[in-house]
Amino acid sequence: MSIDPGMPELDTESQPYVLSAFIMLCRMFRSFSDASSGARLTADDLTLFNNQLLRVPTLTEHHNDLQKADLSVTQQWLRLMFWKLAINKVIMTANTNDDIRSVFFPISLAKELLTNISAMSIDTLEAHGPGMELKLFEVTNSVADMITLNPRQTTSTLEIGPQDILVHLTNIIGRFRGGNKTLLPLLQSRLSGIGLDSLILPPA
């Protein structure tokens, strides 16, 4: 099986916004496939792939909330998956900024993700099924890993910190109804281990 290098053109004469978000998703997954297919990964590969995903066109008011949720979460999830793929192959920095070459990159990624989905209803996120829940879990669990790795990492009192991000994302996953019953207990255990279990809301 191989990926077709060409992408279908949108029919601009018949509601192009219906398909445009799907085409964006296809392009993101193709970028991931191209970037991860090589035997070796370099820091330049990591930066190039990250920039490709960030250049995905912004959704407009013509796109509905379901499309925005799918594209936004998938974009951040793919960035995280490629970072995980590269972390044992690329020399990472200890910078705490949003550089994808930083060992603490999941923190800034999760913060961006949380900003994007905070205004979305749980119904919008749930509509994408277990795949959405798993993507959010991957990001949230990675934040827990970063806090465990560097528990003293702090931010300005005016900024949302890693612990805040972890609690907020865990509580969003806890509101999924009828989802994967194993994910929330795993996160609750992680939060308990770092002293944040008292901030978890009761499951929906």
Statement: residue 112 has pLDDT above 90: yes
pLDDT in tens, 113-142: 999 999 899 999 999 999 999 999 999 999
Q: pLDDT band at residue 20, thresholds of 50, 70 and 90?
A: confident
Q: pLDDT band at residue 15, thresholds of 50, 70 and 90?
A: low
The residue-averaged pLDDT of 48-67 equals: 81
Residue type (1 letter), 40: R
**Packed helices 65-86 and 43-54: angle between N→C axes, nearest 10 degrees:** 180
pLDDT in tens, 85-100: 888 888 888 876 678 8
Domain ranges of the chain: 16-199
Residue 54: half-sphere exposure toward Cβ, Cα within 13 Å:
12
Task: Assess contact for 71 and 116: CB atoms under 8 A.
Answer: no
The torsion angles phi and psi of 127, rounded to 5 degrees, stand at: -60, -20
Task: Assess contact for 102 and 91: CB atoms under 8 A.
Answer: no
Q: Which of 27-41, 55-69, 144-158, 174-188 has the highest mean pLDDT?
A: 174-188
Task: Assess contact for 36 and 89: CB atoms under 8 A.
Answer: no
